[in-house]
């Protein structure tokens, strides 16, 4: 890791380890995800949902575990905070996916809430209300048993919190982070600093332009990679797919075509979780072909989140359905 300053059975398997047994041995998780766990109320042209389980750690964790479940015994740990109102059924959903919840803190108060709406092409969400609740004072405390993953994914958090998490961990292969326009607006120097501490950065096209002031996306990517010395810069482009700059080489992939768009919430986190799982399965320096394969899996995973409210598109996903869509996507690309 770089440091400077349907009726088919779901692929998720039940985790049987309790917190007491975890305390007595070192757990070697393949991926550690630090981020938010929330309740979302969303309205879109397809309908609405109230108090649906969401948050970056939730989407990222479920996606990561799904990809891992197809390839053996790899595990994912979550670090996040919820309130006393967090439903046992939601905790059970995360645990049944095989997620290690040793780092899940229950704090006095209510769980982070977000209310939003999508209109038209649903390219961007309209935020109607944000209630940080217990998330407002979230200070991640990474358990020692989870501090040496193969891949660390710092989901969308304040750059100072991401830096703190990086300081608590020693990833064996790489560290990746996500960010958003808010941190560019209020904490750009800190964000650029922490971007220089990681191996892989995920942002969207608007954020790349904000950070560089260049409307040409490719120029902006090269400038940002040079400025932060980031080995891999991945830029999400919504319905237009993804572009990655890896050690000077470009990879561009389209989105999965779909006419069934229900709720885009969590698509970026789903994408990141799947990519983290793929990269955690490898060793040594990340190769361009390895990255391209991971981006394809991540793009396909995100397409399932898009087609249902909340996490329903992930929690009900089967391996057969995923494999079929991935094969169709490869065929579309001529691979």
Of 11-25, 80-94, 205-219, least confident by mean pLDDT is 11-25
pLDDT digits (tens, 9 = 90+) for 306-335: 999 999 999 999 999 999 999 999 999 999
The model carries a pTM of 0.92
Residue 26 predicted with pLDDT over 80: no
Q: In the prediction, which pLDDT does 23 show?
A: 40
Domains and CATH numbers, the chain: 28-332 (3.40.1190.20)
2 neighbors 199 (Cβ within 8 angstroms): yes
Share of the chain above pLDDT 90, in %: 90
Token pair 């979302």: residue: 40
Q: In the prediction, which pLDDT does 174 show?
A: 98
pLDDT digits (tens, 9 = 90+) for 156-196: 999 999 999 999 999 999 999 999 999 999 999 999 999 99
Residue 25 predicted with pLDDT over 70: no
Residue 289 predicted with pLDDT over 70: yes
Mean pLDDT of the chain: 93
Q: Is 202 exposed, middle or buried (0-12, 13-18, 19+ CB in 10 A)?
A: buried
Q: In the prediction, which pLDDT does 74 show?
A: 86
221 neighbors 243 (Cβ within 8 angstroms): yes
pLDDT class of 27 with cuts at 50, 70, 90: low
Q: Please give the residue that has the higher pLDDT: either 280 or 73.
A: 280
pLDDT digits (tens, 9 = 90+) for 233-242: 999 999 999 9
Residue 4 predicted with pLDDT over 60: no
Residue 17 predicted with pLDDT over 50: no
Closest CA to 205 of 192, 214, 193, 195: 214
d(CA 327, CA 324): 5
Token pair 């089967």: residue: 318
d(CA 75, CA 151): 11
Q: In the prediction, which pLDDT does 73 show?
A: 74
Q: In the prediction, which pLDDT does 1 show?
A: 67
pLDDT class of 3 with cuts at 50, 70, 90: low
Residue 267 predicted with pLDDT over 90: yes
């Amino acid at each position: 890791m770089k440091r400077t300053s349907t009726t088919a059975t779901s692929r998720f398997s039940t985790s049987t380890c309790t917190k007491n047994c975890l305390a007595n041995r070192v757990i070697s998780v393949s991926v550690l995800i630090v981020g938010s766990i929330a309740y979302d109320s969303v309205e879109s042209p397809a309908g609405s949902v109230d108090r649906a389980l969401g948050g970056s750690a939730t989407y990222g964790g479920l996606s990561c575990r799904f990809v891992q479940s197809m390839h053996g015994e790899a595990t994912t740990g979550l670090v996040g905070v919820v309130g006393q109102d967090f439903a046992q059924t939601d905790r059970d959903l995360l645990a049944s996916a095989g997620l290690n919840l040793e780092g899940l803190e229950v704090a006095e108060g209510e769980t982070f809430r977000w209310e939003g709406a999508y209109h038209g092409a649903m390219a961007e969400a309209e935020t109607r209300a944000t209630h940080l609740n217990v998330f407002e004072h979230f200070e991640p405390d990474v358990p020692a048993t989870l501090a040496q993953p193969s891949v660390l994914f710092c989901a969308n958090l304040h750059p100072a919190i991401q830096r703190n998490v990086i300081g608590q961990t020693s990833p064996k292969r790489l560290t990746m982070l996500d960010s958003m326009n808010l941190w560019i607006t209020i904490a750009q120097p800190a964000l650029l600093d922490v971007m220089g501490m990681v191996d892989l950065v995920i942002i969207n096209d608007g954020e790349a332009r904000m950070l560089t002031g260049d409307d040409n996306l490719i120029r902006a990517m090269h400038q940002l990679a040079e400025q932060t010395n980031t080995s891999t810069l991945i830029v999400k482009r919504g319905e237009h797919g993804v572009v990655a700059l890896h050690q000077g080489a470009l990879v561009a992939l389209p989105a999965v075509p779909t006419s069934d768009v229900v709720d885009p919430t969590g698509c970026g986190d789903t994408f990141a979780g799947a990519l983290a799982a793929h990269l955690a399965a490898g060793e040594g320096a990340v190769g361009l072909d390895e990255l391209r394969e991971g981006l394809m899996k991540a793009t396909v995973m995100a397409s399932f989140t898009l087609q249902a409210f909340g996490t329903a598109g992930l929690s009900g996903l089967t391996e057969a359905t995923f494999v079929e869509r991935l094969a169709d996507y490869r065929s579309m690309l001529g691979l």
